[in-house]
Structure 1
Amino acid sequence: MKGETYNSANGGTYFQAGKVKQLTKGNWLVSDVLGFNTKRKEVIFTAVEGLRSGHFAVNVSNGKISQPFENCKESEHSGMLSASGTYLIDRYSTKDQPRIINLVDTKNFKETANLLTAESPYEGYQMPSIETGTIKAADGTTDLHYRLMKPANFDPAKKYPVIVYVYGGPHAQCVTGGWQNGARGWDTYMAGKGYIMFTIDNRGSSNRGLAFENATFRRLGIEEGKDQVKGVEFLKSLPYVDSERIGVHGWSFGGHMTTALMLRYPEIFKVGVAGGPVIDWGYYEVMYGERYMDTPESNPEGYKECNLKNLAGQLKGHLLIIHDDHDDTCVPQHTLSFMKACVDARTYPDLFIYPCHKHNVAGRDRVHLHEKITRYFEQNL
């Protein structure tokens, strides 16, 4: 192999003949290295900053980049490169366009053929409005991107309940420049039922660089929760938000965040639905848990601080925990041990088990899952 590349917090690095050479630098992140244009000696890569993304080429000899990042618009791109690196299948979406697939010449990154322009599946429907923006993190300096979805028949004179959808962990960016700014179908559905839907990408989430992700190192869930509370403070500043009716929902790391927010901030969150939550990082798979928490031996205080069983007595609101009995990622021991802690503390969460599913609910049972989640918010928020 003559050379290879990898992505980093602010650019790409190229290895050739045993030497390391940094090829790119900027306030954006190389999210994917697609391959190499053998004729032009260029690395083809995808970069992202905030809600903007795009494809680029950088020459390995002189470091010249095909276009300035500032030319990128709000969008979400992925790609597949031809063997020679001459052509690129560019797959992307924007806030209002669900899917476009173009054939692109990597010489100038201009479209040579449009392969697909998908129609909106919501054509003809009254849709909620979506706003994006930034607020400051709990550190007072870092900008965090948020998405706020309002009902289609929004009346600024009314007070609306809010559901915060959270993931919050590494390897995920929930607020994007892509279709619906990353909102899920369930968000749209609940907005149609009269809820304001809110999501913020806290520190520790993806595509913002190493320092942003490292802010949560060895204390998973702590700084993330503080940032989520900053999001709620922003919500409470809006005259149309009912600050007494704020709920939260998430799955996996988002389930951990949901449970943690209900326990650490019981005066803020009235209702929570946590799916497949991590309760004790000591139970979680080591290749993930120890990457972000270190080992229990080297970080005992961190594991203790982040163990939600120790907070079971602080539950005040309505919390539904959903778990799959075949979950081999976040094993049922998490939820079962938390339930025992709640019994000991005399607090009363709700529990629902999905038989024969792993780390989420698939197939037709997924309809039941979202009906269950929806009903819980309708009954309690």
Structure 2
Amino acid sequence: MGFLKSLPLIFFFAITLVTAQEKDITLDEIWNGTFSTQRMDALHSMKNGQQYSVLNFDRQARSTSVDVYDYKTLAKVKTLVSSANIEQMQYFTNYTFSQDESKLLLASEVESIYRHSTVGKYVVYDTNTQNTTLVANKKIQEPTFSPDGSKVAYAYKNNLFVKDLNSGATKQITFDGEVNKIINGITDWVYEEEFAFVRAFQWNASGDRIAFIRFDESAVPEFSMDVYGTGLYPDQQEFKYPKAGEANAVVSLHLYDLKSDKLNEIQVSKDYNDFYIPRIKWTKDSDVLSAQFMNRHQNELDLWMINTKNNNKTKLVLEETDKAYVDVTDNLTFLKDNSFIWTSEKDGFNHIYHYSKDGKLINQVTLGNWEVTNYYGYDPKTERIFYQSTENGSINRDVYAIKLNGRDKVRLTKSEGTNSAAFSADFSYFINTFSNATTPPEYTLNNAASGDLIKSIKDNDKLAEKLLDYKTSEKEFTTININGNDLNMWMVKPANFDAKKQYPMLMYQYSGPGSQQVANRWNGANDYWYQMLAQKGYIIVCIDGRGTGFKGAEFKKVTQKELGKYEVEDQIAAAKKLGERPYIDASRIGIWGWSYGGFMSSNALFKGNDVFKMAIAVAPVTSWRFYDTIYTERYMTTPQENPSGYDDNSPLSHVDKLKGDFLLIHGSADDNVHLQNTMRMVEALIQADKQFEWMVYPDDNHGIYGGNTRLHLYKKMTNFIDNTLGDKLKNDASEENDQVKIKL
């Protein structure tokens, strides 16, 4: 009798011990920061090459500071500036140095406009005098020091201004700026989103001229969104958004001379009909400006040199062409003799090239069936180029050094996974950020000559230790042969996986051109969600199909003019093949994705209606006719030229095939993939008499976040997965509980 009475108590302690080591990951923990990683914020290598600065936040004092550290010792050397000593701001969120590092631009009250653009209040702090100067008594855009640090150029209400920090005077240099009509020196919506830059003005080396791009949006169709807010009536946000095939902003290149106070337009000696200017950059010669011009199809990119001292005389030095498209990068680097470094896919893989100032090829620096994924810079003292690549496998990243002549290549990183480098200004050190699927981010100081470890700076060992208490599964990296290609794949199985059982499978993918989801790096928030789903009894799989990146131009560009055809075929074929495995229940396979991934999951469910039981599409493109010119036409040309490419692969054309369960989700204030996409899908499904579920998040943009929004979103998706794929799991869990009761 006594033994029987104590049994429940013994059982309780045993269960407590086990559960302490195998806690379940919860959605609340995923989104409340339980698994967040320590990072290094706003790191800047000081000009002396021996020190670096970091933005630090003092939580108790509610202040921020820019602190300087020594590379060798990692000890804090000094605090350059603290917001506690600045009357104009409680704290700042970013900083920028003048070229000689005697002054800092400090940003506060920063508000986002779109993905990259912001407005904010800015103060100049002089480290010598410790004086502060307010750049403008209003919120401005992209303030930038002149090379000697005596002036700051900035944009306000679509015009450009220059503030003289010595006299305090501000001069307006353009006057025609007007909302939704003319923009000077700041990119329009589509350039910001697709060419990934905001500041479209640049100082020359001597600080006496500013080159800038002007956007005339007058003919661009306007898009409007209701922003519901909390008032009695909603506000309406209106902005210029060129959809595929519609008019783009007319761009022109201009030059302002500070000495003569003259403004001139620069015209290149080639007749372009419809074109982009995706990059401008001054060369080492303060009189020579480089500008990249690209045709609307984006399969021709021209590099021009413009002599601003000689009547703006232009010279075409490089013409890059491709059957599909040419990528725009920030890798153009001018050497002392104005020869330049350039990256290109022209041999089938992305590599580094060295050209003379006249555009003659000196040599191809890197070569091989692998991709250069990042260009870090050139050290003139050692004549070495530093770069990141996939030489150690397409899912990994390593940092390398190579001579400008293509010799003496050295692998600087040692650990397999994802390595990225931040080099000191003189290229004597680099801070390496490393992670892989089993190691959270580690920051180390390394010798740039050899790559040898000098010291550990910061790690996430506490997070790794914390995760030991949780029930987690290995992310297994393999390949799967589909349609003649070995596609990269990862799979996460339940921790208590039993090969004799059958499990439902959820596939995740993004699949956009040049993208990558199967990468050997540390967890993002979704990875913790997948672990949570795995502990519920799901197998989670991700496959990068044709059209994704880092396996060569041919693999990436096969989807040209047919977005959504080959990518969907690969996901359907992969699901079928995986469904043949004895431990996967082929009758319970689902797929989900966000943005391009939502476009994909919708198509996969419709076209693969005999394979997929359910799909979730978050913020999906439902027709490329609704998306912007630069992104869409890069891969599809225009709808007028390629109507079948647009319509044959649109989910809207296949709603009649829907058999499974479908959940549509969108933010009502999505300026990128407009709610129009989901509304058109909803109407098409209704008219096809198809049942489905949907959710619209009020006033949320493409990211759908803020407050409890992400938690709510992932609860909704989890519940939908459980209700559509997980019924059998509930029964299995119920049977296991009954067996435990019987044993007790």
Q: Which residue of 1 aligns with 2:16?
A: none
Q: Which residue of 2 aligns with 1:281?
A: 624
Asked if the contact 1:53–1:72 (Cα under 8 Å) also holds between the matched residues in 2, the reply is: no
Residue 247 of structure 1 and its aligned partner are, at CA, apart by 0.6
Residue 11 of structure 1 and its aligned partner are, at CA, apart by 2.3
Partner amino acid for 2:480?
I
Residue 232 of structure 1 and its aligned partner are, at CA, apart by 1.1
Q: Which residue of 1 aligns with 2:577?
A: 234
Asked if the contact 1:175–1:182 (Cα under 8 Å) also holds between the matched residues in 2, the reply is: no
1:42 paired to 2:384:
yes
Partner amino acid for 2:473?
P
2:489 pairs, out of 146, 167, 184, with 146
Q: Which residue of 2 aligns with 1:52?
A: 396
**Where do 1:302-341 residues align within 5 Å?**
302-341=645-684
Asked if the contact 1:220–1:306 (Cα under 8 Å) also holds between the matched residues in 2, the reply is: yes
Residue by residue over 1:62-120, the C-alpha shift from the partner in whole angstroms, topping out at 9 and shown as x without a partner, is: 5331139xx96530122212222222111110221111111122211111221122121
Q: TM-score, normalised by structure 2?
A: 0.49
Q: TM-score, normalised by structure 1?
A: 0.94
Partner amino acid for 1:116?
K
Q: Distance in 1 between matches of 2:704 and 2:492?
A: 25
What secondary structure is seen at the aligned counterpart in 1 of 2:490? strand
Partner amino acid for 1:380?
T
Q: Distance in 1 between matches of 2:343 and 2:538?
A: 42
2:719 pairs, out of 364, 375, 379, with 375
Q: Which residue of 2 aligns with 1:113?
A: 455
Compute the RMSD of aligned alpha carbons: 1.8
Partner amino acid for 2:713?
L
Q: Which residue of 1 aligns with 2:522?
A: 179
Q: Distance in 2 between matches of 1:181 and 1:206?
A: 19
Q: Which residue of 1 aligns with 2:374?
A: 32
Q: Distance in 2 between matches of 1:82 and 1:215?
A: 39
1:87 paired to 2:432:
no
Q: Distance in 1 between matches of 2:691 and 2:444?
A: 53
Q: Which residue of 1 aligns with 2:286?
A: none
Q: Which residue of 2 aligns with 1:131?
A: 476
Residue 156 of structure 1 and its aligned partner are, at CA, apart by 1.6
2:351 pairs, out of 6, 11, 21, with 11
1:357 paired to 2:707:
no
Q: Which residue of 1 aligns with 2:36?
A: none
- Judged with a 3 Å threshold, the aligned counterparts in structure 2 of structure 1 residues 143 and 73 are, in CA distance, closer, same or farther, namely farther
Asked if the contact 1:44–1:57 (Cα under 8 Å) also holds between the matched residues in 2, the reply is: yes
Q: Distance in 1 between matches of 2:635 and 2:384?
A: 34
Q: Distance in 2 between matches of 1:182 and 1:344?
A: 37
Asked if the contact 1:164–1:249 (Cα under 8 Å) also holds between the matched residues in 2, the reply is: yes
Residue 256 of structure 1 and its aligned partner are, at CA, apart by 0.4
Residue 7 of structure 1 and its aligned partner are, at CA, apart by 5.3
Aligned residues: 377
**Where do 1:65-84 residues align within 5 Å?**
65-67=409-411, 74-84=416-426
User: Which structure ranks higher in relative contact order (CA pairs < 8 Å, sequence separation ≥ 6)?
Assistant: 1
Asked if the contact 2:366–2:406 (Cα under 8 Å) also holds between the matched residues in 1, the reply is: no
Residue 230 of structure 1 and its aligned partner are, at CA, apart by 2.7
Q: Distance in 1 between matches of 2:415 and 2:454?
A: 19
Q: Distance in 1 between matches of 2:637 and 2:424?
A: 40
Partner amino acid for 1:107?
A
Q: Distance in 2 between matches of 1:114 and 1:10?
A: 32
Q: Which residue of 2 aligns with 1:255?
A: 598
- Judged with a 3 Å threshold, the aligned counterparts in structure 2 of structure 1 residues 16 and 87 are, in CA distance, closer, same or farther, namely farther
Asked if the contact 2:364–2:406 (Cα under 8 Å) also holds between the matched residues in 1, the reply is: no
Partner amino acid for 1:239?
P
Residue 58 of structure 1 and its aligned partner are, at CA, apart by 1.3
Per mean C-alpha deviation after superposition, the further-off stretch among 152-161 and 325-334 is 152-161
Partner amino acid for 1:110?
D
Per mean C-alpha deviation after superposition, the further-off stretch among 251-260 and 32-41 is 32-41
Asked if the contact 2:576–2:611 (Cα under 8 Å) also holds between the matched residues in 1, the reply is: no
Q: Distance in 1 between matches of 2:450 and 2:697?
A: 51
Residue by residue over 1:309-335, the C-alpha shift from the partner in whole angstroms, topping out at 9 and shown as x without a partner, is: 111111111000000000111101111
What secondary structure is seen at the aligned counterpart in 2 of 1:89? strand
Residue 148 of structure 1 and its aligned partner are, at CA, apart by 0.7
Residue 242 of structure 1 and its aligned partner are, at CA, apart by 0.6
- Judged with a 3 Å threshold, the aligned counterparts in structure 2 of structure 1 residues 248 and 307 are, in CA distance, closer, same or farther, namely same
What secondary structure is seen at the aligned counterpart in 2 of 1:330? coil
Q: Distance in 1 between matches of 2:703 and 2:524?
A: 23
Asked if the contact 1:94–1:178 (Cα under 8 Å) also holds between the matched residues in 2, the reply is: yes
Asked if the contact 2:509–2:543 (Cα under 8 Å) also holds between the matched residues in 1, the reply is: yes
Partner amino acid for 1:113?
K
Partner amino acid for 1:173?
Q
- Judged with a 3 Å threshold, the aligned counterparts in structure 2 of structure 1 residues 350 and 358 are, in CA distance, closer, same or farther, namely same
Q: Distance in 1 between matches of 2:355 and 2:447?
A: 25
Q: Distance in 2 between matches of 1:233 and 1:239?
A: 12
Structure 1 unaligned regions, length at least 5: none
Partner amino acid for 2:371?
L
Structure 2 unaligned regions, length at least 5: 1-333, 726-744
- Judged with a 3 Å threshold, the aligned counterparts in structure 2 of structure 1 residues 117 and 97 are, in CA distance, closer, same or farther, namely same
Give the 4+ runs in structure 1 shifted more than 3 A.
71-74, 180-183
- Judged with a 3 Å threshold, the aligned counterparts in structure 2 of structure 1 residues 66 and 178 are, in CA distance, closer, same or farther, namely same
Asked if the contact 1:130–1:180 (Cα under 8 Å) also holds between the matched residues in 2, the reply is: no
Q: Which residue of 2 aligns with 1:189?
A: 532
Residue 24 of structure 1 and its aligned partner are, at CA, apart by 0.7
Q: Distance in 2 between matches of 1:197 and 1:117?
A: 28
1:63 paired to 2:407:
yes
- Judged with a 3 Å threshold, the aligned counterparts in structure 2 of structure 1 residues 181 and 324 are, in CA distance, closer, same or farther, namely closer
Percent identity of paired positions between Structure 1 and Structure 2: 30
